[in-house]
Structure 1
Amino acid sequence: MIKEVIVVEGRDDITAVKKAVDAEVIAVGGFGINKKVIDKIKEAQKRKGVIVFTDPDFAGEKIRRIIIKRVPGVKHAYISREEGTKDDDIGVENASVESIRRALENAKCKLTEKREEFTSRDMIYFKLSGHNDSKERREMLGKELGIGYGNASQFLSRLNSFGITKEEFIKGIKRIDKEK
């Protein structure tokens, strides 16, 4: 598993990267990059490190510059325009598995053992999955821990890959239980 969190532009990029490597991936949503997304990237940088992997076009470079300005110390992965072009469409989502792996290797990504601190059993026990208010609880806890909102599967993945400790998790649960 790649230690760093990979930041891409959109959902199709997430799919392409996850076909190539085992990693946590955040999509910025194109030019819609906002404070909430920047805060999530900052938290990922603090906990795990970040690799910015945007499209080899004007928009991708503009998004990369926005992130560089607000989140110091990120690493960068690049593909060429040729590697990312398919039918006049340019993007990471068009790159081959080999091109994506090579770009991430060139970014000097670190490999780590996949962490399984939290399980789906924890999600159910702490009412983050399978309960009427699970979505709201994940939203609140995600904000508290700085990992953002995700469906149950995404949230579990973030808990493990962002290096959240049991202690941080329990403190967060207690705070959201007080608020409710």
Structure 2
Amino acid sequence: MIRQVIVVEGKSDIARVSHAVEADMIATEGFGIRRETLEQIRLAYEKRGIIILTDPDGPGERIRQRLTRLFPKALHAFVPKSEASTENDVGIEDASPESIRKALSCLRVQYQEDSEEFSMGDIFAAGLTGRPDSSEKRARVGALLGIGYGNGKQFLKRLNHFGITRSEWEKALEACQKEPTC
């Protein structure tokens, strides 16, 4: 059983995550989180810690950002969009139990102070921006690092906010180069 409480967006997400791991969960039911739900999340955060596991899409990212502002020491888990998509939908409810377990095995905490370990030059030199296939490469490297997908600026912010080391960066780039899709 996972000690922390997992915060997801909806009841379908709870059902899917329950197939992957044994854990207590709270659903935000979207961006307009009710006061009672925020109080539940706050109590879980203070007593056991929380893991934020939102959908890999725009609304999921906005919910993640809001929760991070309210609960700055929350842990973050990211399921890559490619592993949480069907023809018509993107969400945790569409992820496989394996993808959910993998995301929960690579938890990150977002540091409130930016490091300056990485620059836009690093992103460009690695081919993660400025090329036709940069978006796909960022998605793959983000999945390998456990920080999710973002455009070039968001990706740089995540590298520096989630405390990624040069060693982790180099290993992820190397692993990505070995893949035929990278």
The residue number in structure 1 matching 2:36 is: 36
Structure 2 residue 100 is the aligned partner of structure 1 residue 100: yes
Aligned positions of 1:1-180 closer than 5 A: 1-107=1-107
* Distance in 2 (alpha carbons) for counterparts of 1:41 and 1:4: 11
* Distance in 2 (alpha carbons) for counterparts of 1:31 and 1:51: 17
1:88 to partner: Cα distance: 2.5
* Distance in 1 (alpha carbons) for counterparts of 2:28 and 2:104: 18
* Distance in 1 (alpha carbons) for counterparts of 2:40 and 2:68: 14
* Distance in 2 (alpha carbons) for counterparts of 1:8 and 1:66: 13
* Distance in 1 (alpha carbons) for counterparts of 2:100 and 2:71: 23
RMSD, aligned α-carbons: 1.0
> SS of the counterpart of 1:6?
strand
Q: Which has the higher contact order (CA 8 A, sep 6+)?
A: 1
1:39 to partner: Cα distance: 1.4
* Distance in 2 (alpha carbons) for counterparts of 1:101 and 1:35: 30
Gaps of 5+ in 1: 109-180
* Aligned AA (1:53): L
CA displacement, residues 142-173 of structure 1 (integer Å, 9 cap, x when unaligned)? xxxxxxxxxxxxxxxxxxxxxxxxxxxxxxxx
Moved over 2 A (4+): none
1:50 to partner: Cα distance: 0.2
The residue number in structure 2 matching 1:121 is: none
* Aligned AA (1:62): R
Which has the greater radius of gyration? Answer: 1
CA displacement, residues 36-69 of structure 1 (integer Å, 9 cap, x when unaligned)? 2111111001111100000000000000111111
* Distance in 1 (alpha carbons) for counterparts of 2:31 and 2:59: 8
* Distance in 2 (alpha carbons) for counterparts of 1:64 and 1:37: 15
- The answer to whether the 8 Å contact 1:38/1:70 transfers is no
1:71 to partner: Cα distance: 1.6
1:74 to partner: Cα distance: 0.3
* Aligned AA (2:56): P
